[in-house]
Amino acid sequence: MFEPTVIARIEQERLSLPCWAVDPDLFFAELPAEVEAAKAICAACPVRQACLAGAVTRREPYGVWGGELVVGGTVIARKRPRGRPRKSPVPEPRPERPIAVPTAA
Ligand code: SF4
């Protein structure tokens, strides 16, 4: 769903949106590879920015919009593969040691 101005632009310029040519289910896929494929389809879309902005504003629950995966209205960098969560926590990275700076004597 777009803002009326974007719909007017699509109609006036007779734009053809890339997602119109593929199965819409791809944009709501569960598999990470399919999510990435949907993102790639959006890359050439002339209304990509408006699509993403609308999804975030509407707080879309899930899907690829404007070339990004949106979950609960927030852009998520990457779809995590299915699977059980870890049984043990991931160890924290070791803190860096302070560098000893020699002082002038
Ligand atoms: S950016 Fe939006 S309108 Fe454009 S192809 Fe992707 S889902 Fe379709």
Query: How does DSSP classify residue 82?
Result: S
The confidence score (pLDDT) of residue 93 equals: 73
Residue 24 in domain: yes
User: Does residue 29 lie in a domain region?
Assistant: yes
CA–CA separation, 67 and 89 (whole Å)? 32
From the CB of 46, is ligand 1 less than 6 Å away? Answer: no
Does residue 105 belong to any structural domain of this protein?
A: no
Task: Show the low-confidence residues of the chain (pLDDT under 50).
Answer: none
* Predicted local distance difference test score (pLDDT) of residue 82: 74
Q: Could you tell me if residue 98 is inside a domain?
A: no
Q: Is-contact 38 64, C-beta < 8 A?
A: yes
In the numeric block, which tokens belong to residue 78? 């990457």
Which numbered atom of ligand 1 lies nearest the CA of 38? 6
Ligand 1 mean position, distance from CA 81 (Å): 23
Cα–Cα distances in angstroms (integers) from residue 53 to residues 2, 48, 67, 70, 101, in the given order: 9, 9, 11, 11, 48
- The confidence score (pLDDT) of residue 77 equals 87
Number of domains in the chain: 1
Ligand 1 atom nearest 2 alpha carbon: 3
Enclosing H/E stretch for 63: strand 62-65
**97 lies in some domain:** no
Q: Enter the pTM of the model.
A: 0.75
Domain-embedded: residue 53: yes
Residue 31 lies in a domain: yes
pLDDT at res. 18: 97
- Is residue 95 one of the residues assigned to a domain? no
* Ligand 1 pocket, residue 18 CB under 6 Å: yes
In order of 5, 50, 66, 84, 103, the CA distances from 36 in angstroms are 29, 20, 12, 22, 53
- Print the domain residue range for 25: 4-76
